[in-house]
């Protein structure tokens, strides 16, 4: 039995959900999102509560039950609060700034790195050493943050690079003479 799938997803005020077949659409103050569930589960909306039930007792149906419930809960969170990833830059001369919809990064390369924010994602640079990625789609926010981090991953000797806020980088000791 899925302990996650049993719990219904409550819709806060200002959020509406509609089910058509295996697709659920959730509308809220920040926008609208959809999710298409597999045929192993049944989606239903009653009195501002979304419930997910498995169809059958197979292992796949039980797996999809919990996963589908989590996806619907993420839709509700996305259209109400949104998702946010914070990155910090460490290193001498490394900095970031926004110019319109483009994030300009100085990361020690011979050229600046220009990263254009995709639709539905808001990137801000409150300080030269901080980057904030926000949006209503959790997967897309994480993917954009990972792409930005990949331009200069933190290295283990001096810790220079782009890291998630609060991320621990295991430090190595340099060569001894």
Task: Give the pLDDT confidence of 119-167 residue by residue, as tens digits.
Answer: 999 999 999 999 999 999 999 999 999 999 999 999 999 989 999 999 9
DSSP string, 52-78: EEESSS-HHHHHHHHHHHHHHHHHHHH
For the chain, what are the domain ranges? Answer: 3-80, 83-164
Q: How far apart are CA 157 and CA 173, in angstroms?
A: 7
Residue 140: per-residue pLDDT:
95
Q: How far apart are CA 136 and CA 122, in angstroms?
A: 10
CATH architecture of 83-164: Alpha-Beta Complex (3.90)
What is the band of 118 on the pLDDT scale with cuts at 50, 70, 90?
very high
CATH level 3 topology of 3-80? Outer Surface Protein A; domain 3 (3.90.930)
Whether 3-80 and 83-164 share one fold: the answer is yes
Q: How far apart are CA 21 and CA 39, in angstroms?
A: 10
Residue 2: per-residue pLDDT:
67
Classify residue 89 as left (phi > 0), alpha (psi -120 to 50) or beta: beta
Statement: the pTM of the whole predicted model exceeds 0.85: yes
The per-residue pLDDT for range 16-50, each reduced to its tens digit, is 999 999 999 999 999 999 999 999 999 999 989 99
CB 95 within 8 A of CB 42: no
Residue 176: per-residue pLDDT:
86
Numbers of helices and strands, H then E, in the chain: 3, 13
């Amino acid at each position: 039995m899925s302990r996650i799938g049993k719990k219904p997803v409550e819709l806060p005020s200002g959020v509406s959900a509609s089910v058509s077949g295996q697709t659920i659409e959730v509308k809220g103050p920040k926008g609208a999102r959809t999710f298409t569930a597999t045929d192993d589960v049944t989606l239903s909306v009653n009195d501002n509560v979304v419930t997910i039930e498995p169809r059958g007792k197979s292992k796949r149906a039980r797996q999809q039950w919990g996963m589908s419930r989590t996806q619907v809960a993420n839709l509700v969170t996305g259209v109400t609060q949104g998702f946010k990833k914070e990155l910090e830059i460490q290193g001498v001369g490394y900095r970031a700034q926004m110019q319109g919809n483009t994030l300009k990064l100085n990361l020690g390369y011979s050229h600046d790195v220009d990263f254009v924010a995709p639709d539905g994602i808001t990137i801000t640079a409150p300080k030269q050493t901080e980057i904030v990625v926000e949006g209503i789609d959790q997967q897309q926010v994480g993917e954009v943050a990972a792409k930005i981090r990949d331009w200069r991953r933190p290295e283990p000797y001096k810790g220079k690079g782009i890291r998630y806020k609060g991320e621990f980088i295991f430090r190595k000791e340099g060569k001894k003479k």
